Amino acid sequence: MKRHLPPLNSLRAFEAAARHCNFRKAADELNVSQSAISHQLKLLESRLGIELFHRSVHSVELSEAGLLYYPVLRDAFDRMSDVTERIRLNTESTLLTVQVYVTFATAWLIPRLSDFQKKHPEIQVNINTTHIDVDFEHSDVDVCVFMGYKDQAKVQYNYLFTSELYPVCGPELLTNAKTLKHPKDLLQQNLLYINNAEQDWSNWFSAAGVDTNTQSPAMRFDSYSLALDAAIDGAGVALALSPFGASDIDAGRLVKPFDIQAKAYGDWYLAYRENRGNSAKVIAFQSWLLGQIQDDKNIRLSKPVSTRPSELELEPELMACAI
């Protein structure tokens, strides 16, 4: 039987516009102009002989017909996307793209990667370092290791561990700081802050039982690894994020002035699209990563305990910029 269907471009434009309830966002997603979206919608409405949106100067909303049409098209596009992905995975390449933060890559993952390569020589690993979390809807990343919260739909999250924060400094600073006897004495030191994670120090001082107002940071950095390097060079006191400061402490490059820890906001997860759960390369990396974490004596395994702190209203990308 011959199918009488509207043009695919018109259907894609409608599905995107209905999902966002915004023509501009639909245009951005489909990489076309807003006028092109409007043209496709008018073409579709003309073909159907009915309005799908109620338009006003400042907003658009689905009409009764649009409300009926949208969920059917959404499900159809989702099914097409899923089956396309399954077909692609059946002939998938051996390239595994892993997105991680800079600190996680340099301080933890890279020293262990040779072990994965020995166990899985058939898989070529591509490490993509960034300061922002992956958007699986618009990215070809296979898996992502991140610290934060489970925010994206149709994404599989596997809990890894929860980090803790604790102050560290160079050994000379601790030797020269004669008055560094109580956690409150840190307020007299140069505290090194992380961009978009200024709550870390307040979080730690609260755990240490110190009432303090936010002070002006001596220096700011966009990753914990850079802050630790500055602390090693004597620039001030930084907060280490476990387990990434352990090697510097073991080597004597950093010392802990106080053995007090505070739980970091957010948990560590391995994330990937739900429809890639059967991918052999994803399964292999996930199994290897969990084994490495279990073998790391500097990681204390526990159940996820972090919830998004409503009073701070932290955005996911802000957490990413701090790692």
Please give the single-letter amino acid code of residue 184.
K
Q: Please state the φ and ψ torsions of residue 164, each to the nearest 5 degrees.
A: -125, 150
Using DSSP's 3-state secondary structure scheme, residue 25 falls into helix
Ordered by start, the domain boundaries in the chain are 8-89, 92-163+265-321, 164-263
Distance of alpha carbon 162 from alpha carbon 304, whole angstroms: 7
Which pLDDT does position 316 carry in this prediction? 40
CB 103 within 8 Å of CB 320: no
- How high is the mean pLDDT of the chain? 87
Does residue 315 register a pLDDT over 50? no
Cis-peptide, bond into residue 243, ω within 30° of zero: yes
CB 276 within 8 Å of CB 136: no
For the residues 269-298, what does the mean pLDDT come to? 92
CATH class of 8-89: mainly alpha
CATH of domain 164-263: 3.40.190.10
For the residues 78-88, what does the mean pLDDT come to? 77
Give per-residue pLDDT as tens, 19-36: 999 999 999 999 999 999
Using DSSP's 3-state secondary structure scheme, residue 80 falls into helix
For residues 287 and 311, the model is more confident at 287
CATH class of 92-163+265-321: alpha beta
CA geometry: angle at 281 spanning 277 and 282, to 5°? 35
Using DSSP's 3-state secondary structure scheme, residue 194 falls into strand
Contacts of 125 (CB under 8 A, 6+ apart): 96, 98, 113, 116, 117, 285
Distance of alpha carbon 204 from alpha carbon 258, whole angstroms: 11
Which pLDDT does position 27 carry in this prediction? 93
For the chain, give the percent of residues with pLDDT over 70. 89
Which pLDDT does position 313 carry in this prediction? 42
**Token representation of residue 46:** 């003309």
Does residue 318 register a pLDDT over 50? no
The neighbouring-strand residues paired with 220 are 193
Q: Write out the DSSP string of 37-76.
A: HHHHHHHHHHHHTS-SEEE-SS-EEE-HHHHHHHHHHHHH
Give per-residue pLDDT as tens, 181-224: 899 999 989 999 998 788 899 999 999 999 877 666 678 998 89
Is there a common fold for 8-89 and 164-263? no
For residues 318 and 82, the model is more confident at 82
Does residue 179 register a pLDDT over 80? no
Tokens 């476990």 — which residue? 242
For the residues 256-281, what does the mean pLDDT come to? 90
Give per-residue pLDDT as tens, 37-79: 999 999 999 999 999 999 887 888 999 999 999 999 999 998 8
CB 45 within 8 Å of CB 36: no
In terms of Cβ atoms closer than 10 Å to its own Cβ (0-12, 13-18, 19+), residue 73 is middle
For the residues 262-274, what does the mean pLDDT come to? 91
Query: Given phi > 0 = left and psi -120 to 50 = alpha, else beta, which region is 212?
Result: beta
Q: pLDDT grade, residue 119 (50/70/90)?
A: very high
